[in-house]
Amino acid sequence: MSAGQISAELTEAERVRILAKTARFNPPEVQTADGRRELVGLDRAEITAELAAIGEPAFRAKQLWHWIYHQGVTDFSVMSSIARPLQEKLAERFVIGRPVASVVQTSTDETRKFLFRFRDGQEAETVYIPDRVADRGAVCISSQVGCTLSCRFCHTGTQTLVRNLGAAEIVGQFMAARDSYGEWPSPHGETPRLLSTIVLMGMGEPLYNYDNVAKAMKICMDGEGIGLSRRRITLSTSGVVPMMDRCGEELAVNLAVSLHAVRDDLRDEIVPLNRKYPIKELIAACRRYPAASNARRITFEYVMLKGVNDSEADAHELIRLIAGIPAKVNLIPFNPWPGSPYETSTQDSINRFAEIVMDAGFSSPVRQPRGRDILAACGQLKTESRR
Ligand code: SAH
Ligand code: SF4
């Protein structure tokens, strides 16, 4: 057996271990108060099975799928391709729900933050980030309530993990955000543009809730439903190496990697997951990631912390590390939150850093902080949910 095979098997064992461990944090099976079954979050096979159980053929499941995920309808009585008696039968047994927005705040820059409450009362935040220039925008979705990792610069990281979000709750955030903008196609109308991108960059580590995130993203990518291409979805991870491979094989969505430091001693401190999956392994996983071999690029996220990771030497080491990877480097000015231990790098050092990276041939956009006034910017999300 070659060394490559041994490490592949170890990786598989590690994946199984991670999936078993993280499943403990799955949401409780919550029924609606009246016992009806929630349809949002079910995949095609499950919807087909639910309908078969009440004696309805597969083509009904296809129709229902279209109404739920393509048209965004929540009321059976408007499903014009389904006869009235069946509409009533469906409404007796099923619901098409949404998480409830308990707070909605709109920033002066038009970023909108939602605090969504789920059936068991837990809450998570979702942010809509409009892009005026391109006339479209991105929905930043949470994958967990809290986070098990405690990155030093991240507000979510000061909260422990309360629980994973289920597939219904993950898709539900996107659907509810679309509701808020009335952004569903009319039966014969245009495709929605404003809410046409998903970034998994809200609360939580998506690769520590892989099964639910994968199911939700597959639903979002189904061409007869929400229909987002995988190029319109970006998953951001702090570097759960074994699950990055799995994500590449199964979803092949865009990958963003929260690098933030170029030496293990510093990364161990600010992204503690580095102690388990150090920089060398992380970069190797990026080189293996399938999207990197196509036209698409991996995004390296790099939070600019004054005097911590923002020197010219850091920039030079960064380009050495990622040499040869089709990549861009997203520089994120640190977004402070109450009690945060860091300061944002000066504009000067951000510019110098960006220049060095750019001179090496990588695009290095500086991320404009959005929605800072409503604490909706990267890393500022934190709810008061308790386990
Ligand atoms: N858990 C995932 C995704 C959520 S965080 C991850 O860590 O990648 C989304 C991005 O915001 C990550 O790159 C994260 O490191 C960054 N971030 C966290 N706190 C921040 C802060 N206070 N200021 C700027 N960026 C921050
Ligand atoms: Fe969790 Fe990401 Fe925040 Fe780290 S940066 S604590 S992984 S949400």
Per-residue pLDDT reduced to its tens digit, 206-234: 999 999 999 999 999 999 999 999 999 99
Position 145 pLDDT exceeds 90? yes
Q: How many CB atoms lie within 10 A of CB 332?
A: 23
| Residue 387 covered by a domain | no
> Buried b vs exposed e over 49-65: b needs ≥16 C-beta within 10 Å?
ebbeeeebeeebbeebb
Residue 3 has a pLDDT of: 46
Active site residue 378: yes
pLDDT of residue 190: 65
Asked whether residue 11 is domain-assigned, the answer is no
pLDDT reported for residue 232: 93
Residue 124 beta carbon below 6 angstroms from any ligand 2 atom: no
- Across 181-190, 278-287, 352-361, least confident range: 181-190
Residue 5 has pLDDT above 70, yes or no: no
State the pLDDT confidence band at 264, using cuts at 50, 70 and 90: very high
Kindly give the distance from the C-alpha atom of residue 163 to the centroid of ligand 2, in angstroms, as a whole number: 14
Confidence at residue 2, expressed as pLDDT on a 0 to 100 scale: 47
Q: Is 384 inside any structural domain? A: no
Q: How many other β-carbons are positioned within 10 Å of the β-carbon of residue 82?
A: 19
Residues 91 and 231 in one domain: no
Mean predicted lDDT score pLDDT of the chain? 91
Residue 135: pLDDT over 80: no
Same domain? 110 vs 77: no
Most informative mutation of 158, 203, 234, 303 for ligand 1 (most atoms within 8 A of CB): 303
C-alpha–C-alpha distance, residues 157 and 382, integer Å: 8
Q: Is residue 166 part of a domain?
A: yes
Partners of 363 in beta bridges: 328
How would residue 189 be classed by pLDDT, with cut points 50, 70 and 90? low
Of 125, 169, 205, 301, the catalytic one is: 125
Residue with the smallest CA separation from ligand 1 atom 20 is 379
Q: How confident is the model at residue 371 (pLDDT cuts 50, 70, 90)?
A: confident
Q: Is 125 among the catalytic positions?
A: yes
Reported pTM: 0.94
pLDDT at 347 over 80: yes
Q: Is the domain of 80 the same as that of 128? A: no
Domain co-membership, 73 together with 133 = no
Collapsed DSSP state (helix, strand, coil) of residue 49: helix
Least confident span in 47-61, 289-303, 312-326: 289-303
Question: Has residue 385 got a pLDDT over 70?
Answer: no
Token digits of residue 133: 């220039």
Please give the number of the atom of ligand 1 that sits closest to the Cα of 149. 1
pLDDT band (50, 70, 90) for residue 203:
very high
**What pLDDT was estimated at residue 1?**
43
β 136-140/144-145 pair status: unpaired
Residue 94 has pLDDT above 80, yes or no: yes
Tell me the pLDDT tens digit for each residue of 37-93: 999 999 999 999 999 999 999 999 999 999 999 999 999 999 999 999 999 999 999
Residue 30 has pLDDT above 80, yes or no: no
CATH code, 69: 1.10.150.530
Determine the distance separating the centroid of ligand 2 and the alpha carbon of 234, expressed in angstroms.
16
Q: Among 54, 71, 95, where does a domain finish?
A: 95
pLDDT at 141: 97
Domain match, 154 and 213 both: yes
* Domain count along the chain: 2
Q: Rounded to the nearest whole angstrom, what is the distance from the C-alpha of residue 80 to the centroid of ligand 1?
A: 44
Distance (Å) from CA 204 to ligand 2 centroid: 6
Do 191 and 45 sit in the same domain of this protein?
Answer: no
pLDDT at residue 162 in the model: 84
Domain membership of residue 32 (yes or no) is no
Among protein residues, the one with the nearest Cα to ligand 1's atom 13 is 258
Which protein residue has the closest C-alpha to ligand 2 atom 4?
151
Over residues 261-271, the mean pLDDT reads 98
Q: What is residue 6's predicted lDDT score, i.e. its pLDDT?
A: 57
- Residue 14 belongs to some domain of the structure: no
Tokens of 91: 């409404």
Task: Verify that 171 and 272 share a domain, yes or no.
Answer: yes
Exposure on the CB side of residue 21, measured as CA atoms within 13 A: 10
Judge if 264 and 286 occupy the same domain: yes
Whether residues 226 and 333 share a domain: the answer is yes
Tens digits of residue pLDDT in 10-25: 788 889 899 888 888 9
Say whether pLDDT at 4 is over 50.
Answer: no
**Domain assignment of residue 168, given as a range:** 100-374
Which of 150, 153, 155, 156 to mutate for ligand 2's pocket (most ligand atoms within 8 Å of CB)?
Answer: 156
pLDDT of residue 32: 77
**Higher-scoring residue by pLDDT: 303, 378:** 303
Instruction: Verify that 226 and 358 share a domain, yes or no.
Output: yes
Kindly state whether residues 195 and 151 are assigned to the same domain: yes
